Structure 1
Amino acid sequence: MDLTDRLREHVRENRTGMLHDLMFAVVWVGVVSFLFEFVFTSAPGWAFYMFMLAGIPAYFGFFLSLEVARTG
């Protein structure tokens, strides 16, 4: 099995999860960008990057809570 076949198989198996990951990332970046463009206009640059980095634990927390809600 060559690389393109393996890649197609991987995308086929994980299509929904990859789409959810992309949607979460786009929404998170959009919300943070909106907040720092219109609400926190005088905030320092490092605060923007900290909010962006906060997306990592937010991602895992959000999807973990969805999994718990589905099983329980």
Structure 2
Amino acid sequence: MTDAERLDESDADESLADRVRSHVRGNRTGMVQDLAFAVVWVTIASLLYDFLFSTSPQWVLYMFMLAGIPAYFGFFISLEMARAQESDR
């Protein structure tokens, strides 16, 4: 979902560390955005479960966590749509 550069195929003699470094370099912004979204989502879901829904069963927490999947895609798709609409102006 990010604007990662297209990377060349890895060489046969390239080490795993070199391939990981190359992948992270090409996808740095997207990886940081994904990590930030995950940390914020899990924090909000945990706080909701701990304080607002403290008497609820454990599966409610799991449902909050699962709701992060469509929320992630919805957020980043709407962000891309907003950027595309902004560039059309």
The two structures have a TM-score, normalised by structure 1, of 0.94
Aligned length: 72
Confirm whether residue 16 of structure 1 aligns to residue 32 of structure 2.
no
Question: Once superposed, what is the RMSD of the aligned Cα atoms?
Answer: 0.8
Structure 1 regions of 5+ residues with no counterpart? none
C-alpha distance in 2 between matches for 1:37 and 1:2: 44
Structure 2 regions of 5+ residues with no counterpart? 1-13
Task: Give the Å deviation of 1:6.
Answer: 1.3
Larger radius of gyration: 2
Task: Give the Å deviation of 1:13.
Answer: 0.7
Could you say which residue in structure 2 is the equivalent of 1:34? 47
Q: Which runs of 4+ in 1 moved over 6 A?
A: none
Deviation per residue, 1:28-64 (Å, 9 max, x gap): 0000100111111111111110110110111011000
Task: Give the Å deviation of 1:16.
Answer: 0.7
More helix as a share of residues: 1
The two structures have a TM-score, normalised by structure 2, of 0.77
Q: How does 1:1-72 map to 2 (within 5 A)?
A: 1-72=14-85
Over the matched positions of the two proteins, sequence identity in percent amounts to 64
